[in-house]
């Protein structure tokens, strides 16, 4: 068990529940391992929504290693729940998003050589490249979020870019906890708390994602500024053991429990290293 500092309650017990966006990329990873249509990400999305997920998140990568264009088309047509399209800020992806018109788009960094999205988008360094992409998506009515580290300079740039939302990359915090690096975990947690507060004060909607499990989702759900968590790999992995619907139900319960700790603003929250 690793102790981490608690968030201070800044809104009181009436804060709304956090949305759960299930990332179904790795259902597609499994399907693609054999080709064909099984397991179908659309079926997974349907089950997840029935079990309590609010949004569907899918990352259409340049190399189409998991989600395909056809998956996106079928997810849009099925209208199961709002679709959050994760995408790199490239002309190809921008054209696809403007044609598909998902509810939301999360701009992420992308490298062909990475196994997963390794860090946040450097929106400060790429401001000029991102500005027209953000504005075209926003003008089209798509709810844009920027996947960034919880650094003040990045958060301020997100506000300058007039993106309505950010998603904080919490992978470093999750990794530090999983590896028992308590000091690193505390430092990362402090960055997340401060970043969420700063973003909220700048008028940005705050989401979080990457590497979350039941325990870390419960902890982070206590941050009153957060309105959405996007979670994939852990839920799909858990589905092997308990089924997808049950893993989503457990995640929903963990998040709801975490949100209740808003009432206990100055008590310490404890996070287990396991699932």
Catalytic residue list: 59, 86, 210
Indicate the residue among 42 and 148 with the shorter CB distance to ligand PXP.
148
Q: Which residues pair with 148 in a beta bridge?
A: 168
Smallest separation (angstroms) from ligand PXP to the CB of 152 = 20
- Check residue 18 and report its DSSP letter: P
Distance between alpha carbon 65 and the CA centroid of its chain, in Å? 19
Nearer residue to ligand PXP within complex by CB, 211 or 258: 211
The first and second tokens of residue 159, run together, are 């506000």
Assigned token pair, 258: 């975490």
Closer by beta carbon to ligand PXP, 105 or else 222: 105
The residues near 275 (Cβ < 8 Å, ≥ 6 apart) are: 213, 214, 215, 234, 238
Encoded tokens for 6: 């608690």
* Whole-number CA gyration radius for the chain: 18
The answer to whether the CB of 81 falls within 8 A of the CB of 53 is: yes
Distance in Å, CB of 147 to ligand PXP, minimum: 4
| Least gap, CB of 213 to ligand PXP (angstroms) | 8
Q: Whole-number minimum distance, CB 27 to ligand PXP, in Å?
A: 11
What per-residue string of b and e applies to 86-125 under the rule 16 or more CB within 10 Å gives b?
A: bbbbeeebbebbeebebbbbbbbbbeeeeeebebbbbbbe
Nearer to ligand PXP, 90 or 267 (CB): 90
Would you say 6 or 84 has its CB closer to ligand PXP? 84
Closest CB 266 distance from ligand PXP, rounded Å: 29
Residues that bind ligand PXP (CB under 6 A): 23, 25, 59, 86, 106, 108, 116-117, 147, 167, 209-212, 230-234
The contacts of residue 262 (CB under 8 Å, 6+ apart) are: 9, 11, 12, 13, 15, 222, 224
Q: Which two tokens stand for residue 26?
A: 């790795």
Nearer to ligand PXP, 165 or 222 (CB): 165
Q: How many CB atoms lie within 10 A of CB 127?
A: 13
CB 170 to ligand PXP: min, Å: 9
Question: Cis bond leading into 39, ω under 30°?
Answer: yes
């Amino acid at each position: 068990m690793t102790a981490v500092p608690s968030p201070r309650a800044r809104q009181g017990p009436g804060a709304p529940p956090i949305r759960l966006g299930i990332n179904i990329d790795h259902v597609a990873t499994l399907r693609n391992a054999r080709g064909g249509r099984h397991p179908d990400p659309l079926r997974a999305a349907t089950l997840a929504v029935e079990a309590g997920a609010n949004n569907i998140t899918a990352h259409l990568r340049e190399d189409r290693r998991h989600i395909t264009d056809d998956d996106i088309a079928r997810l849009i047509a099925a209208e199961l729940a709002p679709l959050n399209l994760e995408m790199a800020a490239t002309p190809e992806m921008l054209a696809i998003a403007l044609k598909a018109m998902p509810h939301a788009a999360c701009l992420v960094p992308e490298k062909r050589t990475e196994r997963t999205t390794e860090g946040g988008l450097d929106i400060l360094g790429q401001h000029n490249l991102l500005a027209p992409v953000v504005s075209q998506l926003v003008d089209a009515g798509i709810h844009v979020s920027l996947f960034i580290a919880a650094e003040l300079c990045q958060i301020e740039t997100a506000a300058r870019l007039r993106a309505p939302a950010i998603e904080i990359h919490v992978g470093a915090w999750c990794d530090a906890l999983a590896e028992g690096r308590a000091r690193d975990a505390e430092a990362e947690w402090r960055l997340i708390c401060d970043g969420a507060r700063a973003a909220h004060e700048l008028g940005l909607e705050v989401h979080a994602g990457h590497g979350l499990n039941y325990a870390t989702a419960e902890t982070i759900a206590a941050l009153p500024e957060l309105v959405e968590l996007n979670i994939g790999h852990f839920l799909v992995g858990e589905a092997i053991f308990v089924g997808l619907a049950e893993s989503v139900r457990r995640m929903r319960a963990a998040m709801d429990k975490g949100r209740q700790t808003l009432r206990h603003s100055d008590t310490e929250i404890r996070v287990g290293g396991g699932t």
